[in-house]
């Protein structure tokens, strides 16, 4: 167990030169830019939805007075808050789709072309 060395998954055998190509590309400014645009959206969005959901769960457990308040008819804050979780989930999914196709995909295509161009014999 301790003696085997890192190996590549079967079917993905890389020639040393193609692996070097990935290492080179990872150091480029274009790739750093791609990684930054990806993380700039997904990390804050993940933190935001987890906090928003966590708030809902914690309020359900501890803020009964607030959650029980009537909004209109038999509809209370708890129901509205729950429905807002649906709204925020749909919204984040849609925003991410839009952001990714504008700000991530073009950069990814560029870097990918760079990797594959560099591999060309």
**Residue ranges in contact with another protein by CB under 8 A:** 1, 4-7, 9-12, 14, 18-20, 22-23, 25-27, 31, 34-35, 38, 41-42, 45-46, 49-50, 53-54, 56-58, 60-62, 64, 67-68, 72-76, 78-79, 82-83, 85-86, 89-90, 92-94, 96-97, 100, 105, 108-109, 111-112, 115-116
Question: Least distance (Å) from another protein to the CB of residue 32?
Answer: 10
- Which distant-in-sequence residues (6+ apart) come within 8 Å of 82 by Cβ? 56
Question: Least distance (Å) from another protein to the CB of residue 81?
Answer: 9
- Per DSSP (E only), the strands in 5-84 are 70-72, 75-76
**Residue 77: helix, strand or coil by DSSP?**
helix
**Residue 76: helix, strand or coil by DSSP?**
strand
Residue 14 falls in which region: left (phi positive, over 0), alpha (psi -120 to 50) or beta = beta
Question: Least distance (Å) from another protein to the CB of residue 65?
Answer: 10
């Amino acid at each position: 167990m301790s003696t085997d060395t890192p190996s590549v998954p079967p079917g993905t055998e890389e020639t040393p030169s193609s692996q070097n190509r990935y290492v080179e590309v990872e150091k480029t400014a274009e790739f750093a830019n791609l990684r930054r645009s990806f993380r700039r959206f997904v990390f804050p969005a993940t933190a935001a939805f987890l906090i928003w959901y966590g708030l809902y769960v914690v309020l359900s457990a501890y803020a009964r007075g607030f959650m029980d308040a009537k909004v209109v008819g038999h509809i209370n804050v708890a129901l509205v808050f729950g429905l807002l979780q649906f709204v925020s989930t749909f919204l984040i999914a849609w925003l991410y789709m839009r952001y990714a196709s504008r700000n991530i995909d073009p950069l990814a295509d560029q870097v990918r072309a760079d990797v594959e161009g560099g591999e060309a014999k």
